[in-house]
A = this chain, B = another copy of it.
Amino acid sequence: MEPAETVNAFITAIEAKDLDTALSLVSDDVEYDNVPIGKVHGPAAIRAVLEPFLAAAREVEWVIERQAAEGHLVFNERRDRFHMRGWVEVAVNGVWEVHDGRITLWRDYFDDASFRRQLAPPP
């Protein structure tokens, strides 16, 4: 698979809440960096971050707005949408590195406050 295909397959698996398939596409030492929050390493750490989110969402849609790939790099501008009580959405620009068919870097840039505001309980 080309790097962009690997990233797209990862995202499709996330939308299906299929973490086993998603994590089969990352390297053992993958870096997962939510820039304003912090980074973790390895598939088990990605699972620990994502599993509660996916479990709390009735539906998950990660919509690709724009995408470019060059060499080992893939960028995707996304709207990551989670159907919780209502839909919450985070506007993300992601940068990925893929080597030998495995994702070695997944780094998302977004505004943390814009996301947390939507997760706050209703007044």
Binding site for B on A (CB under 8 A): 35-36, 66-71, 73-75, 77, 91-95, 107, 109-114
A79 to chain B, nearest CB (A): 11
Q: In the complex the two chains form, what is the Cα distance from A53 to B69 in whole Å?
A: 32
Cβ-neighbour of A68 out of B68, B77, B114 (below 8 A)? B68
Chain B residue numbers with a CB within 8 Å of A107 are 77, 93
Q: In the complex the two chains form, what is the Cα distance from A73 to B113 in whole Å?
A: 28
Q: In the complex the two chains form, what is the Cα distance from A94 to B95 in whole Å?
A: 10
Q: In the complex the two chains form, what is the Cα distance from A96 to B38 in whole Å?
A: 26
A35-B111, A109-B93 are known contacts. Are A70 and B73 too (CB-CB below 8 A)?
no
Contact indicator A68/B70 (Cβ below 8 Å): yes
Contact indicator A112/B109 (Cβ below 8 Å): no
Instruction: Provide a sorted-by-A list of 22 A–B residue pairs whose CB atoms are within 8 angstroms.
Output: A35-B111, A36-B111, A36-B113, A36-B114, A66-B73, A67-B70, A68-B69, A68-B75, A70-B70, A75-B75, A75-B77, A75-B93, A77-B95, A92-B109, A93-B95, A93-B109, A109-B109, A109-B110, A109-B111, A110-B111, A111-B113, A113-B113
